[in-house]
Amino acid sequence: MEVRHAFLTALMLTGCASVPPQIAGNDFAAVTPQQAVSQNTHGQRVRWGGEIIRVEPRANSTCFEILSRELYDDARPKRHDRSEGRFLACKQGFFDPAVYAKGRDITVVGILNGSEKHKVGEYDYTFAKVDANEVYMWPKRVDYPMHYYDPAFGPYCDPFWGPCWSLYGGWGGYWAPRPIVIVKPAPKSGR
């Protein structure tokens, strides 16, 4: 019973998403990168995020080419096939492309500063440009398979998809059939 209460308490606390302090705030323009290119949005403050496509260190700054994604409540980019376009975010200083690697999730806060044209393959693409005040690279995501092992709780899976052990429904959750265990007797030795 104690484990159940501890688990539910931990679950409720992790459900309260908190934005990292570097990128916190609520006074951001509700504009997408595509809208920023087609409208006059120069000077507006935005918080955008997505997946790093390319990192280009320049003389005094580093520019990130980012495939824009919607953000969760904690400002982390959502992982799905939809995108709101690409954008460039440039920040003073050097950010190592080996650390800020392609495919990593990133969120930036900054001021819209026009656009830049670059090639994407053979296509001339117009990128909305953000002068970033803050660049936040998220820890790598851990993708658990449907059945995984947690040392604290043992094997776990979604109770709707069983069969496997779940904390509150036993083997396979509430609706999965219970396993049948057949134990063969050990062969008798000839002694």
Q: In the chain, how many domains are there?
A: 2
Supply the pLDDT for residue 188. Answer: 75
CB-facing half-sphere around the CA of 53: CA atoms within 13 A? 16
123 and 56 within one domain: yes
What is the domain extent for residue 157?
A: 144-179
> 10, 3 in Cβ contact below 8 A?
no
CA distance linking residue 71 with residue 48, whole number of Å: 8
pLDDT tier at 174, thresholds 50, 70, 90: very low
Q: Is residue 51 part of a domain?
A: yes
130 and 92 within one domain: yes
Q: Is residue 76 part of a domain?
A: yes
Could you give the angle at the alpha carbon of 64 between the alpha carbons of 61 and 69, nearest 5°?
Answer: 150
150 and 129 within one domain: no
pLDDT tier at 172, thresholds 50, 70, 90: very low
> 82, 68 in Cβ contact below 8 A?
no
Supply the pLDDT for residue 3. Answer: 46
pLDDT score of 147 more than 60: no
pLDDT score of 82 more than 90: no
